[in-house]
Amino acid sequence: MSKKCPLISPSVGCPAGYGFVQDGEKEADDPTQAGVNVLADAGGISYGDYLQLDKILSAQVPQSRVHGQEVHDEHLFIVTHQAYELWFKQVIFEIDSIRDCFLDDSGVDEARMLEVIKRLQRVVMIIKLLVDQVLILETMTPLNFMDFRDFLSSASGFQSLQFRLLENKLGIKSEYRVRYNQSNYRRVYEDKPDELAALEASEDEPGLSDVVQRWLERTPGLTGDFNFAAKYKEAIDKILVESLELIEAEDNIAMKTHLMSNYSKKKEQFDSIFDPEKHNALVKRGERRFSHNALLGALMISCYSEEPRFHQPHQLLIALMDIDSLITKWRYNHVMLVQRMLGSIQLGTGGSSGYQYLRSTLSERYKVFIDLFNMSTFLVPRNLIPPLTPQMRTTLRTHTQDVDESGQKG
């Protein structure tokens, strides 16, 4: 008797998805190997048609070949950059879906937070891959690159619309861009109205940073009976008073001066998170990006990250920092690649300053979530973190869309 997939007739494929049936009365140890693939003749779309490989695999046209002087490494150069653009498209797709979750009029449904975090972590993994892809380009020597560089003409990575959209959708503001980028940012797309419109729309829409800030401002416990900022300030004031007493008891003048200087800086730092005016002044100078309440919300989540209701928010904040740091690593690897290929002085393709321009993008002004990186500045040892009130502890141990103390959804 032949072996058949249970619960199906001989003319129907196996529900396990192998698509094989036995040929006659033949016995086989592995029916998937001994059978006949009935799906091949069942019609439907093929692998190549589904992926539209005819379009993708015909898109590699080295300009050196067009001009009759084909250079081997130009093919690698094209494939790698096309792969970047495909991954940029996927990252934008994920970021847009995450922003939509936060932009819901009814607030962020906590039931969707796991999906948001999964998508953010997917973005993290994609950018990790992009960081490593630069290493493949480094298998090309500067002479190999020079063999086809002139064929690139005015083409430059600076013209990548998708990377500009990605930056804008994450939350990079035009005022933080370096001067070359600011002055030539839109001119690249002046003869492409559709691309220019997409670029302008991405600047006007709230970025991921904007929607995350709005979400952080609704952190349970920021207002109401608990009032995290007031309790945290009490704890910090106590620490500073005790520190000042120790400094005043110091007999060594040089050491006392050093400690007093550190104390003054620390006090000034803490004052800036409790005083909205000082915080807003730092925002105007570009040293901070988050709103005052958003910063306090992130600080509270960091302090009480072990509370069940803050588990996922804390993972989200970590994922945002991972994205920021990995993009910086990708920029750095790109800078090193350009320096390897062009040196530090030669102009880049497309008329940019090449290495010098790219190096300027490594500054903190390009970190969208710089406030999260600086959060550790304001943390204190666990034993000094203000204890939660019974009501607040109950709130943070309840995974429901309850209305919190401030009258808003958590």
Asked, for residue 276, whether it belongs to a domain, the answer is yes
Tally of domains within the chain = 3
What is the overall mean pLDDT for the chain? Answer: 85
Domain co-membership, 197 together with 321: yes
Residue 8 lies in a domain: yes
pTM score: 0.84
Q: Which amino acid is at 399?
A: H
> Would you state the pLDDT for residue 107?
62
Q: What is the average pLDDT across 208-215? A: 96
Query: Are residues 227 and 235 in contact, defined by beta-carbon separation less than 8 angstroms?
Result: no
- Kindly give, in sequence order, each residue whose CB lies less than 8 Å from that of residue 298, ignoring residues fewer than 6 positions away: 216, 290, 317, 371, 372, 375
* Helix, strand, or coil (residue 205): coil
What φ, ψ does residue 403 adopt, rounded to 5°? -85, 125
The answer to whether residues 112 and 252 belong to one domain is: no
Considering the domain architecture, whether residues 142 and 203 belong to the same structural domain is answered as yes
Report which DSSP code applies to 21: E
Residues 292, 378: contact at Cβ < 8 Å?
no
- Per-residue pLDDT of 308-357, as tens digits, reads 999 999 999 999 999 999 999 999 999 999 898 888 766 555 545 567 77
Report d(CA 352, CA 349) in Å as an integer: 6
CB atoms within 10 A of CB 301: 23
pLDDT tens digits along 174-183: 888 876 555 4
CA dihedral over 294, 298, 304, 307, signed as positive or negative: positive
Say if residue 321 is in the same domain as residue 298.
no
The answer to whether position 66 is within a domain reads no
CA 251/CA 244 separation, integer angstroms: 13
Considering the domain boundaries, does residue 58 fall inside one?
no
Task: Look at residue 408 and tell me if it is in a domain.
Answer: no
Please state the φ and ψ torsions of residue 20, each to the nearest 5 degrees. -120, 145
Cβ-contact 309, 400 below 8 angstroms:
no
Question: Are 294 and 322 part of one and the same domain?
Answer: no
SS3 of the chain: helix, strand, coil, percent, to 5:
65, 0, 35
Cross-strand bridge partners of residue 36 = 21
291 and 319 fall within a common domain? no
Dig out the tokens for 261 from the structure: 């200087």
What CA–CA distance (Å, rounded) separates 332 from 213?
28
**408 has a pLDDT exceeding 50:** no
Secondary structure letter of residue 24 according to DSSP: T
Q: Is the pLDDT assigned to residue 401 strictly greater than 80?
A: no
Q: What is the CATH number of the domain that holds 117?
A: 1.20.58.480
Per residue in 241-288, pLDDT (tens digit) is: 999 999 999 999 999 999 999 999 999 999 999 999 999 999 999 899
The closest alpha carbon to 61, from 154, 152, 189, belongs to 152
- The residue range of the domain holding 276 is 228-304+385-396
The whole-number pLDDT of residue 7 equals: 46
Cβ(77)–Cβ(148) below 8 Å? yes
Answer yes or no: is pLDDT of 81 > 90.
yes
| 238 shares a domain with 191 | no
Say if 213 falls within a structural domain.
no
- Taking residues 76-99, report their average pLDDT: 97
